[in-house]
Structure 1
Amino acid sequence: MKYTQLGRTGLKVSRLVLGTMNFGPQTDEADSHAIMDAALATGINYFDTANVYGWGENKGRTEEIIGNWFAKGGDRRDKVVLATKVYGNMAAEGDVWPNYDKLSAVNIRRAVDASLKRLQTDHIDIYQFHHVDRDTPFEEIWQAIDTLVAQGKILYAGSSNFPGYKIAQANETAARRGSYGLVSEQCLYNLAERRAEMEVIPAAQEYGLGVIPWSPLQGGLLGGVIKKEAQGGRRASGRAADTLATPTGRAQVQAYEDLLEKHGLAPGEAALAWLLTRPGITGPIVGPRTAEQLESAVRAVELELSEEVLTSLEEIFPGQGPSPEAFAW
């Protein structure tokens, strides 16, 4: 496994991030524990989760599965850079009582304590804002975060799904307070979805944030979906299905799969390897449902794409380019 610094911090993290969203809803606890053990064995030290994972009446379940794994001992917790998120509503299903979601100081305090209990740990390494909260000023958010840092409950703060201007606003507010500010941003970014290159990634680079792309295969679109469908495998759904439903989108994906077949490359591994070549990228989040999917993702770290392949990928998925050139001269 290869490692890099997380943004401007001194923290070293693996170039793949283990996403745990499937733990509970898709992968049972025993298999989830096996995947985490395998991740550690391959050198992945950066684990990502969120308080709402498990979803619906089972929200919080994913953190519990990770906590039970930590409780097995064997230095599991010490070896892991643990990231979780706050924002989603954690009130009991059907309960409309206020202040159980978003980023008020009240909810941040409540949510971090609940996550620590489920995770069976005394601290969270990177505590991330899962979404922008337009109702809470950053002065309040940083006051809450600084208190948690002083208490030793968290070490760093990160963002997820923030536009570029909110990254700037957050860190300018932090600078005025003497707070450390955001150290990472999780954003939707992959070959087929490159809008983050316009402002989000440049803002992250300017402020020293590591960039952690989520959905690096665009919901399976970049994992060889057309060939899998033809072979009777799992059909596309969500964003992938929407893209394939259009003649232009399907032709684009077909060209992508044909290119990689020509060069003897696995589509999913190539898509991850491409992300690892991009400026400002710390490492993509991979969310394996099985140990085999994890093994495939790990191979991508050692995969070096040729200039010919990289050039062809740019032709198939050109992206919008940086701003303001993307929408102006």
Structure 2
Amino acid sequence: MAGVLDSVNQRTQLVGQNRLELLLFTLKGEQTYGINVFKVKEVLQCPPLNEIPNRHPVVRGVAHIRGGTIAVMDMNLSIGRGPLDDIEKCFVIITEYNRSTQGFLVGSVERIININWESIHPPPKGVGKENYLTAVTQIENQMVEIIDVEKILAEVSPLSEEISSGVIEDGIGEKVIQKHILIVDDSMIARKQIQRVVEQMGIKTTLRKDGREALEYLESLVNEGKNVAEELILIISDIEMPEMDGYTFTAEIRANPALASLFIVLHTSLSGVFNEAMVKKVGADSFVAKFHPDDLARLVNDRVLQMTGESLLEENEE
């Protein structure tokens, strides 16, 4: 138990300093790619793969690993390129996203680096909206491309964005018709997923792609003389973002008297135990794991009732 707690403490210190660790890998050729170590459970030489009928084209097969069966996706195929060759010489990066485990076939795995989020930037505008990058950085004069894994997973195994019946109250959006929710996420797919859930509730949204951009937006509202807490129902923020991560974004909000009272939800596919520690450390109000529309809708529903005083009234009536 002490070892687990030490690990939590080390990782929370890392992310609390606006830093992350990237696992670097290659596919075909010399281009280097990266993935956040937080998402990685294991890296191993590609095991024997069993083909399955009617599988998605990017799924090379399934593997039996540590007593479980996981799908192994060809990362090169996933980003719209050709299949990797000689897969027995390739590696599999086993990751955990959205409460599920999957494997990504890559050509080689290089090393882990520790880097500041400020050194990671959004993809250049010229790459277009259909690219598979969520960010880029430079390591030793070499460009490293960070792949939008959530986009890949949304295409291979689309998640439902529909809210189940009975999860939210009828007319919940009418209670906050003049207010909106700020959604902050570097993945365009993730932003749109959250937006569609919130708009099903009849609530308006504002989108920003990273913590720094979102903070500048909030500060601009303050400079215009607006009461931001009156306009925003809550902020739904990713944790892993270029320029400024969600933890630092939250800490910056809490340090600004004009913004400090905002309700902040960290919405993430990272491990829950680390998030529980960091929610307390940086002062966020809650976190919800990606991507479960009912959980997200329920949290927004409860926040609206809290703002309007109806949840407190119901408790008193009981």
Query: TM-score of the superposition, structure 2-length normalised?
Result: 0.27
TM-score with structure 1 length normalisation?
0.27
User: Would you tell me which structure has more strand in proportion to its own residues?
Assistant: 2
Greater per-residue helix proportion: 1
